Structure 1
């Protein structure tokens, strides 16, 4: 993370005065080795992994050809612009593309946020692992076929990678990065994202890359805007959003209300309660909002958990989509328009940008459209109670939104109806004079997109649920040490269903992590500790099912089992 990164549990656990706990640093680094195991104490670098990348979703065969993009070592890069490299599109045709990122690092270093852009269009948001003295290395592969029009016809042809790092006498880790694209020619190896990619992708991002192309949002009233225009023959528009949260909001789902902080005369900036959503407006019209998945970076909560398996989404942060086709009636006038992005109750700082995917009518230079309906319903209730440093803080929120509009093109007159629903519940509980903390958050989100016309109806639904539970206990020790006892339960559930004519596609995903452990810490260092992590990942569709279960104890993989099957099983949350 950048300099303000609040890397570890201590920064979001005890919001206490020096009278109740020993002095607590803003950063903690895990030890080079937190066990006597040979895997961590050896001189060989250790490979880190994210079990959420099954061969079912990414090509298992070698690529037909690869395109190197850049190779660079990120040493002291804080407050510097991204590293750039020229990009030339492939000369051969291709049907599928995968972005490949490989990173290595040795020494002492915090986790850092990073991103990859092509001509200001973000392709990947990622974070780094915390290295060891012997070194760590890992790779990330991400499907990027959806950016086909950009990969084949980049306006300027510039790849940019942002990775703010600090190297000095204490923080010695330099991140060595290699980036490439793998291309596949065979139509038989098409992506499961089988929809036709957009004809045009417009970046909704910073114009200049002094500190990256992402927008930095510092509070709930701070919105960032981008001007854009679309071709007159547009018939569909979808906004893809990249988001990550840092500084005082890195653990936003654990934050107490400002009233608790003020009542106890605390100096922390981590307040505003535990509800966040980012929202989008188009020319002043509300277009949708999403509660982000609570990604835990590799230095977060208990860094001993994240070796060698990282937290859900840490290497490939999730993206989010909003269907903007109903708003084409506003946008199809050949004028400049404005998209704004903000964060409800947000505090410093959030990094957000977006890509506007545009589909064009190949048979006409002009489409017409009209907005038919826009509506939203919102309810938020907050129940806070506290006595000194103990307190219970509950938040319940629900938001519903409905949009519809028609587009007349060579495909006929198509009406798009969009329904979004968010249900959010949060409980933050401080006990034992604030030394112990219980956090339970759950977000349910449901999206429906229905397109109707003379040719029939197509229907797409997407349902997601992501609960997280964090329990921490702090025990003061001798010589300004303290012991942290931690546990985590973190999950992502997704269901996707699509019907168009006689074609039906359905898929589901279950990704869960359970972790527990303890740390003895002093000043900025973890002196000792023990940690266990268990992860299960399962993806299935109408053709096959893939599952992987990984168990880790003190940095050693105890088991790693993969199962392949066939057929889509039914499941319920």
Structure 2
């Protein structure tokens, strides 16, 4: 019989053991010096090892800035999730804060106690995805977490009554006792001095008549005939509990690796009427039970795990075709996914701008260039022996379209380039499992009005993951293993706007994580000696022409479940 493997077999096994019995025990990590909190109150001294309770999880992400105007709150979710039912609620716009609004903010409060896995869920409004989330794993005494998100982009949808659907698939029985309680509020901020009405799209639409064709999501989209800009957001996640949760460490079956889902290259494509219209690199999110060691995530989740961002596509060059008043076929697919393999959740939404001075906007869609994915790899391994998968992949897309608007001809050119490098290796029986990988996704949208200099909107995203997992048998206890994890993750996004070489604005955001954790598997709870030292850092900087540049930083550190650093600035 094969020795315990971490993914997926051992990852599921270890998670089940922790969920059934709760975390425990102690640390061999160096002691941390408590740091002052932002309020100036000294942070708590951490315990020498994990106990049965720990601090509520925190993220270093910035709070959403809000105007100093009157606001109204509408609660759209107030439910306890203990099954796999979709919870439906009615939404009505706030009577005391009629739109247009200067900002709309979503605030989620969650709590769970007892034994429970991490779970994946979503919140939809009017059939449009507002939030994709994963939940933290609880302590026996219980934890609470908070998520806030700027959802002003959904203001056109929120102007009318809608149906809200919330889902967090959860198992509650004699073993898994944690019921997940969640409330979601929407805060609507009115306009006022220094708080003008937000500039948003004119409409937000879902994909209609959806179905699955194999692993692809297919549906219909019909846009207003006077549309001048079309953006798509696709929430795309590999599901928890299966190998596609760990797609970035997948390997061909010939290697003997425990997640044999082919090469670790994934890409999310959008086709319109059978033609490739958009490409994007998915973010390899790590859920709070991931990488075989939940102690890494009990107090600080991996970047974006509580609010998984969508993939963005500019589909404006295809409006000349779409503006015919007819429904058009849209297909969303995951490139690199083995035939017949599922495990991906795909949820698109579409934001549309219209020409108020014209009923119909016509135009032409130029030729599109798209290279095939160029994936080079080196693979070794068999059975329970050591192996590796080295990968280098690239792809490009370029398309141009012109629309005849009331302000004259507008030409939009979208250029997208993806790259992924990965070095994944493991020793015999996957005792040590190492990954060093990076992903880049760059989109440049050039918008030209007549003969004037085009406006260039550049979006650059990069994700890095560097870590090693250990699962080593102990010589002093039969059937026991030392489980270790050492992982660093960085999520970064940069945006810039230029015209004719002149800088108009820029925004840069990063969220990073580093952590080491260890515990003993296969022994009674009070002998596990679980430890974790985890750190997170988020930064944000903005520059807008005519305004002073701004910057912000937030740092967190937790040792054995207790925060010792929470500092802004």
TM-score, length of structure 2 as denominator length: 0.86
Which residue matches 1:313? 304
- Which stretch shifts more, 347-356 or 473-482? 473-482
Residue 463 (structure 1) aligned with residue 463 (structure 2): no
Contact 2:225/2:325 (<8 A) preserved? yes
CA distance in 1 between partners of 2:362 and 2:150 (Å) = 33
CA distance in 2 between partners of 1:495 and 1:240 (Å) = 17
Partner SS state of residue 325, structure 2: coil
Residue 544 (structure 1) aligned with residue 550 (structure 2): yes
144 and 481 in structure 1: CA distance in 2 versus 1, 3 angstrom threshold: same
Could you tell me how far 1:184 is from its partner in structure 2? 1.2
**What pairs with 1:93-492 in structure 2 (closer than 5 Å)?**
93=99, 94-154=101-161, 157-187=162-192, 196-204=199-207, 222-246=215-239, 247-261=242-256, 268=258, 270-301=260-291, 302-346=293-337, 347-378=341-372, 379-386=374-381, 388=383, 389-454=385-450, 456-477=453-474, 478-492=477-491
38 and 483 in structure 1: CA distance in 2 versus 1, 3 angstrom threshold: closer
Contact 1:42/1:134 (<8 A) preserved? no
Which residue matches 1:48? 57
Aligned-residue RMSD, C-alpha: 2.8
Which string of whole-angstrom CA distances, capped at 9 and with x for unpartnered residues, describes residues 454-476 of structure 1? 35421100111111012012111
Could you tell me how far 1:46 is from its partner in structure 2? 4.0
Could you tell me how far 1:523 is from its partner in structure 2? 9.0
Give the aligned length: 525
Which residue matches 2:41? none
Partner SS state of residue 454, structure 2: strand
CA distance in 1 between partners of 2:141 and 2:471 (Å) = 30
Which string of whole-angstrom CA distances, capped at 9 and with x for unpartnered residues, describes residues 391-431 of structure 1? 12111111011010001111221000000001111111112
CA distance in 1 between partners of 2:24 and 2:524 (Å) = 15
In structure 1, stretches of 5+ residues that fail to align are 1-7, 16-22, 208-214, 564-573
Could you tell me how far 1:10 is from its partner in structure 2? 2.5
66 and 24 in structure 1: CA distance in 2 versus 1, 3 angstrom threshold: closer
CA distance in 2 between partners of 1:171 and 1:62 (Å) = 44
CA distance in 2 between partners of 1:299 and 1:450 (Å) = 41
CA distance in 2 between partners of 1:272 and 1:473 (Å) = 23
CA distance in 1 between partners of 2:49 and 2:466 (Å) = 29
- Which stretch shifts more, 100-109 or 287-296? 287-296
Which residue matches 2:71? 64
Which residue matches 2:37? none
104 and 233 in structure 1: CA distance in 2 versus 1, 3 angstrom threshold: same
Which residue matches 1:557? 563
CA distance in 1 between partners of 2:209 and 2:308 (Å) = 20
Could you tell me how far 1:230 is from its partner in structure 2? 1.0
**What pairs with 1:6-25 in structure 2 (closer than 5 Å)?**
10-12=6-8
Which string of whole-angstrom CA distances, capped at 9 and with x for unpartnered residues, describes residues 149-200 of structure 1? 100024xx11110111110000000011111111112456659xx9731111
Could you tell me how far 1:345 is from its partner in structure 2? 2.2
- Which stretch shifts more, 301-310 or 313-322? 301-310
Contact 1:475/1:484 (<8 A) preserved? yes
- Which stretch shifts more, 491-500 or 175-184? 491-500
Could you tell me how far 1:61 is from its partner in structure 2? 5.7
CA distance in 2 between partners of 1:433 and 1:174 (Å) = 36
Contact 2:497/2:504 (<8 A) preserved? yes
Could you tell me how far 1:35 is from its partner in structure 2? 4.4
Which residue matches 1:510? 510
CA distance in 2 between partners of 1:500 and 1:65 (Å) = 38
CA distance in 1 between partners of 2:279 and 2:221 (Å) = 20
CA distance in 1 between partners of 2:234 and 2:556 (Å) = 30
CA distance in 2 between partners of 1:205 and 1:132 (Å) = 41
Could you tell me how far 1:90 is from its partner in structure 2? 2.3
Which string of whole-angstrom CA distances, capped at 9 and with x for unpartnered residues, describes residues 262-294 of structure 1? xxxx7x554212111111111101112212111
298 and 434 in structure 1: CA distance in 2 versus 1, 3 angstrom threshold: closer
Contact 2:23/2:52 (<8 A) preserved? no
445 and 551 in structure 1: CA distance in 2 versus 1, 3 angstrom threshold: same
In structure 2, stretches of 5+ residues that fail to align are 27-45, 544-548
274 and 187 in structure 1: CA distance in 2 versus 1, 3 angstrom threshold: farther
- Which stretch shifts more, 346-355 or 137-146? 346-355
Could you tell me how far 1:204 is from its partner in structure 2? 2.0
- Which stretch shifts more, 278-287 or 480-489? 480-489
